[in-house]
Structure 1
Amino acid sequence: MKNELLDQKIAKQEERLKQLKAQKQAVEAREKAKQKEQDRKDDTRRKILLGSLALKQMENEENKTKILADLNEYLTEDRDRKLFGL
């Protein structure tokens, strides 16, 4: 009788441990997804700021010629090249 009671308690605790491990995995997955989303937002922000800087620098005709020459070498897709008249 005593062994059966102990076995039941052990099974109950093992089930609880399993539930806690599942909760921990869910929390870690949410944190990872949140970090990935933040990394994506940061990357987008960097691109916007760099683009803004390039557009500001293109107000100077000499810089504009250099930037467009660099873009001409860098861009490979026709739709991207059309954006800059290349």
Structure 2
Amino acid sequence: HDELVEKDKKEEPIEKKIEKLPEDLQKAWDESQELIKKAQEDAQTAKDEVAELRKESLQKEISTIVEDMPRIASSPEDRKH
């Protein structure tokens, strides 16, 4: 008999659980919103980094082309055409 009483003490009454449910749901919702926000921020950061890398490599390509232009323009093969 004592064991049963002990078990009841540990186990929260169902009414309490129901009362706490909205709180738990709200907490879970808030946490998920936080995670979503963080994921979006991380994605934006990643996008910015990729854009920056693309810009850098594009600038390198352009400067390489610009540097090569005089050589391309004065190459004998081009004059024949």
**Given the two structures, how large is their TM-score scaled by the length of structure 1?**
0.64
Q: 2:56 matched to which residue of 1?
A: 45
1:34 is the counterpart of 2:52: no
Q: RMSD between aligned alpha carbons?
A: 2.0
Unaligned runs of 5+ in 2: 1-12
Where in structure 2 are the equivalents of 1:3-82 lying within 5 Å? 3-60=14-71, 63-64=72-73
Q: 2:10 matched to which residue of 1?
A: none
Cα deviation for residue 58 of structure 1 reads 1.7
Q: Relative contact order: is structure 1 or structure 2 higher (C-alpha 8 Å, sep ≥ 6)?
A: 1
* Displaced runs of 4 or more, over 2 A: none
User: Quick check: which has more Rg, 1 or 2?
Assistant: 2
Query: CA separation of 1:47/1:16 partners in 2, compared to 1, >3 Å: closer, same or farther?
Result: same
State the identity %. Answer: 8
**Given the two structures, how large is their TM-score scaled by the length of structure 2?**
0.67
Count of residues paired in the alignment: 64
SS state of the match for residue 30, structure 2?
A: helix
Cα deviation for residue 46 of structure 1 reads 1.1
